[in-house]
Amino acid sequence: MSGGEDKKKGWKKEVLAFLAAIIVLLAIFAGLYLYSGVWPPMVVVESGSMAHSSERSFIGVIDTGDLVIVRDQSSVVTYVEGYDDHYRKFGDYGDVVVYLRYGQEDSTPVIHRAIVELVYNASTSTFDVPSLADYPQSLWSHNGIQDGQWWGLGGVLELYDVGFRSQFIRVDLGALLVFEHGGFITKGDHNDLIDQNPQVPICREPIERDWVVGLAKVEIPWFGLLKLWVGGQYTPYGPGVPANSWTNLFVCIALIIIIPISVDLLEIYFRRKGKDPFAPLRKRNRNPPPKEVVVERDERKTKDGDEEKK
């Protein structure tokens, strides 16, 4: 075979490999979309508002630089509801929701935990909070009174011993009633205040269900740091990201690069020794074992033949 034909064959292989890589990527994104039901199916966590430590990141907790796969689901379990059912996601009770502030499509999605749901009662201009009916009475009060009444609420709702930091949460219902709709009270696990705090609000209003893009379902740790690094938001081992997140990211990237190279080098080494370590595997894939043929003997014919000989 001429050198020109070799080059042409090699060029075709490279093109086919490139097309195969694109098809694999498209298949992965299509699979993620089918699972998620929303687009994009993943979000990058850009702050430490959901972290459980300023010094270290943990698998199973949403930290800065994590990729989170979001799934479209109509039901949301709040912290208050999850406490009673022992339902936990990402290190604490209740679901972590991804929502758009005021439902604005052009706003950056917020990924925080749903704490409690308020139901607006238009006839009395108050809030009902049905989930408090099953919540331990010692863990909440209304205007400082622990009487168990969860309907017709105004004033201030207090929740005690909330989250991994055992925080006191104050919900100013009076300030929220002016919006004349119910919704979720949300909060970052690491934040001191709820998102609807009137002094430093992330979103002044209760989060309506239509504003919720989906629920955080799966965490892919560390790999979102690549986007944040390229975008200039964070630098390796700089402030804002736990150091072990960068270390874990670089170790994972190194393994992704080193393992295939090591396999190729190992194959080259054995072939120089006159051995092919992958020969049994290739032989098995190319030549499946033949089916076993069972030949049944006709015993009657054999007996007749023996009699004729006699």
pLDDT digits (tens, 9 = 90+) for 134-175: 999 999 999 999 999 999 999 999 999 999 999 999 999 999
pLDDT in the model for residue 145: 95
| Nearest-angstrom CA–CA distance, 159 and 199 | 19
| Nearest-angstrom CA–CA distance, 33 and 42 | 9
Confidence tier at 310 by pLDDT (50, 70, 90): very low
Q: ∠ CA 90-51-111 to the nearest 5 degrees? A: 65
The residues facing 112 across adjacent strands are 97
**What is the arithmetic mean of pLDDT over 241-261?**
94
The answer, yes or no, to whether residue 298 has pLDDT greater than 70, is no
Predicted TM-score (pTM) of this structure: 0.80
| Nearest-angstrom CA–CA distance, 170 and 136 | 17
Answer yes or no: are the C-beta atoms of 248 and 105 closer than 8 Å: no
**What is the arithmetic mean of pLDDT over 242-253?**
97
Q: ∠ CA 24-26-31 to the nearest 5 degrees? A: 95
Structure token digits, residue 111: 């990924």
In whole angstroms, what separates CA 210 from the centre of its chain? 21
**What's phi and psi for 140, nearest 5 deg?**
-155, 160
In sequence order, the 6+-apart residues with CB closer than 8 A to the CB of 150 are 128, 129, 130, 131, 132, 133
The answer, yes or no, to whether residue 133 has pLDDT greater than 60, is yes
**What is the arithmetic mean of pLDDT over 169-194?**
97
Confidence tier at 277 by pLDDT (50, 70, 90): low
pLDDT in the model for residue 301: 47
**What is the arithmetic mean of pLDDT over 222-244?**
95
| Other C-beta atoms lying within 10 Å of the C-beta of residue 227 | 14
> pLDDT above 70 covers what percent of the chain?
83
Q: ∠ CA 65-67-73 to the nearest 5 degrees? A: 135
**What is the arithmetic mean of pLDDT over 226-235?**
95
In sequence order, the 6+-apart residues with CB closer than 8 A to the CB of 281 are none
Helix (H) or strand (E) holding 110: strand 110-121
pLDDT in the model for residue 309: 46
pLDDT in the model for residue 30: 73
Structure token digits, residue 115: 């704490």
The answer, yes or no, to whether residue 259 has pLDDT greater than 50, is yes
The answer, yes or no, to whether residue 245 has pLDDT greater than 90, is yes
| Sheet of strand 140-142: strand arrangement | 140-142, 156-162, 167-172
The answer, yes or no, to whether residue 305 has pLDDT greater than 60, is no
Q: Cis (ω within 30 of 0) for the bond into 130? A: no
| Residue of higher predicted confidence among 229 and 282 | 229
The model's pLDDT over 81-101, given as tens digits with 9 standing for 90+, comes to 999 899 999 999 999 999 999
pLDDT in the model for residue 18: 73
The answer, yes or no, to whether residue 274 has pLDDT greater than 90, is no
The model's pLDDT over 7-65, given as tens digits with 9 standing for 90+, comes to 666 677 777 777 877 887 777 767 766 666 677 788 999 999 999 999 999 999 999 99
The answer, yes or no, to whether residue 266 has pLDDT greater than 90, is no
The answer, yes or no, to whether residue 302 has pLDDT greater than 50, is no
| Nearest-angstrom CA–CA distance, 153 and 177 | 10
